[in-house]
Structures are given as structure tokens and as C-alpha cells.
Amino acid sequence: MTNSPRERTRIDLRKAINAVSDVVQNRPRPLREFDQIHMKTGDMVLQSEMVADWADGKNLAFIGDGDAISVCVAYLKKREVLDFGPTKIMVFDFDERTVEAVKRFARHEGIEHLDAQLYNCIEAMPDCDKYDCFYTNPPWGASNMGESVNLFVQRGIEVVRYEGEGMIVIADDDDLPWPKQVLANVQSYSRDAGFYVSRMQRKLHSYHLDDAPELRSCNLYISSLPDNGGRCRPSEPASGEKLANFYGKSKEPRVRYVKERKRLDYGKAHEDEYELIPLEDSQ
């Protein structure tokens, strides 16, 4: 289950799946209007192992993470399912439900190296520590040639201060034109920022996506060129045409944050979902 050339011990698959299942129970339900579409659970298990291996011993920032791969990676290490993984994980997301779910899970499980922060990537990146690598599974940019992906990638490049690595999870499909255009544009954008494509794992993940259940995504890895830190410049807010069709056709960003209204236990049925009919009434 590893892609690493390094020697790894065998993973207990049952323990791994059950740990990821705990994370999925804690995950807020997706809001389709913001392109929140969750990765399928089997793929999350494999993806988490790959991310843990790639970011072993490093500081890792997530630019958006509705899937909760960050939590899986941290929890698999805490549970000793994996004996490798990042030393620090920070999630930046504009959805307070996601941010609070990460924080609650970390508190409950005593995972000290996992944290989250409310942030909208349309705004300039706030002051933060330097990270070694970033991970993003952004809005896939089907209607803007990947401009929305590039904004998330830009924030990732900023948190590593232009020196480090990135894993970008985006659409990958041989039969559709737009994923190829997006892939080309993201690669070209990364190159302009002083990064090269160091690896690509094709058509790996499936999603709970009712209108395109066959659509897969890839892991596109980018790495900084030598001495790229010199390109580092202050972060700026995004504006204008970069935001056109951000979440799909004519869906520009209009929301700063998604606020958590009520603390929900996502793993249990909610009271407003069902009604109890007493025995005597049904006879």
C-alpha cells in the first residue's frame, strides 16, 4: 500500500479503514454550491497513506480540506496504524464547520500536531509559520480553465514561501477536454512561480458526485526549483476576472465564511430528520 521507495512496515488495513471511518463520522456534510464533494472512503484510506509518506517528518498545510484527509493523516499516526507522517498539520478553510470539526477531533483524540484556521483564500494569506509542503483539493475550475485551482495553489506556494512541495488534487479524465486544459494551465502557473512537476499519479480518486460519478482526480506533485525563495513576495487578495466562474458557470464567490450555526454530531441522525410514531397510533 505504499508508493515510497523506503522500507515501510505492512499496514493493518482493517485498523486503517476503521480509523478513516471515525473521521468520516465527524465530517460536516458537503455544500455543493462551494464545490464541496467528498472523496470516497476507500480512496481516502489510500490517499492518506500516500500523503503521510510524502510529508513524513514535515510541516504540512492544507488549503481547504472538506475531505478531511488532514484528520485521517494525523489520526492514522496517532493510532499507530502508520509509523510515519507529518510533524505538524494546519488546515486553512473558509467553512467554520470544517475548521471546528478538525479542532474538536484533534482535542478529543489528543492529537497535538493537528490544528485548523478560518481563512478565505480570496483574501491575502495571513501571517503564519513557514510550511514545508502544502496539499490542496480545490474547486476544479471546469468553467474557468483552472483559475480557481491556481488561486489555491498560489496560497499553497505562499505558505511554503516559494520553497517546498505541493500536492494538488484535480480532475483527470481522458475523454473530457476541460480537465486537460486545467491540468496544462495549473502546470504552467506553477512553472511561472518557480515550481516544476515532480510527479503525477493519474486517475486515482472517485467522489460522491451524482452528475459525474466516473470523474476521477489525480495527484499532481510540484516542487520548487533551486533557490526559488528569492521569488517570495507579499500575499495579495484575489480580484477581478480571476474570480469569474469560480465555483462553476456564473458562480462567483459571494461568501466570506460559512459559519457553523449549530454544533452537530454528524455521525448521528438529527431530530428534524425523523419523527417517532407511538405504537398505539399506528394500529
Ligand X SMILES: C[S@@+](CC[C@H](N)C(=O)[O-])C[C@H]1O[C@@H](n2cnc3c(N)ncnc32)[C@H](O)[C@@H]1O
The residues binding ligand X (CB under 6 A) are: 30, 34-39, 64-67, 93-95, 98, 120-122, 137-139, 253
Complex with ligand X: residue 64 or 86, whichever CB lies closer: 64
**CB proximity list for 112: less than 8 A, separation 6 or greater:** 106
C-beta of 207: minimal distance to ligand X in Å? 6
Q: Please, what is the minimum distance in Å from the beta carbon of residue 283 to ligand X? A: 45
> Minimal distance in Å, beta carbon 122 to ligand X?
5
Query: In angstroms, what is the minimal distance from the CB of 111 to ligand X?
Result: 19
The most distant pair of C-alpha atoms in the chain lies apart, rounded to whole Å, by 78
Q: With contact defined as beta carbons under 8 Å apart, do 51 and 69 qualify?
A: yes
End-to-end alpha-carbon separation of the chain, Å?
55
Q: How far is the CB of 150 from ligand X (least distance, A)?
A: 13
Which residue, 73 or 228, is less far from ligand X as judged by CB?
Answer: 73
Q: CB of residue 53 vs ligand X: minimum separation in angstroms?
A: 20
Closest to 97 measured CA to CA, from 258, 241, 209:
258
* Complex with ligand X: residue 185 or 229, whichever CB lies closer: 185
Closer Cβ to ligand X, 54 or 94, answer by number: 94
Give CA–CA dist 17/12, Å, rounded.
9
* Nearest distance in Å: CB 226, ligand X: 30
Query: Cβ closer to ligand X: 134 or 194?
Result: 134
Q: Quote the least distance from Cβ 147 to ligand X, whole Å.
A: 13
Backbone angles phi, psi at 215, to 5 degrees: -65, 130
| Closer to ligand X by Cβ: residue 121 or 218 | 121
Q: How many helices (H) and strands (E) does the chain have?
A: 7, 7
CA-nearest of 156, 138, 99, 164 to 248 is 138
C-alpha cell at 59: 510541516
Between the alpha carbon of residue 29 and those of residues 64, 84, 114, the distances in Å are 15, 29, 21
Q: Which is nearer to ligand X, 11 or 243 (CB)?
A: 243
d(CA 283, CA 279): 7
Residues near 59 by Cβ (< 8 Å), separated by ≥ 6?
86, 87, 88, 89, 90, 129, 130, 131, 132, 133
Q: Which is nearer to ligand X, 34 or 221 (CB)?
A: 34
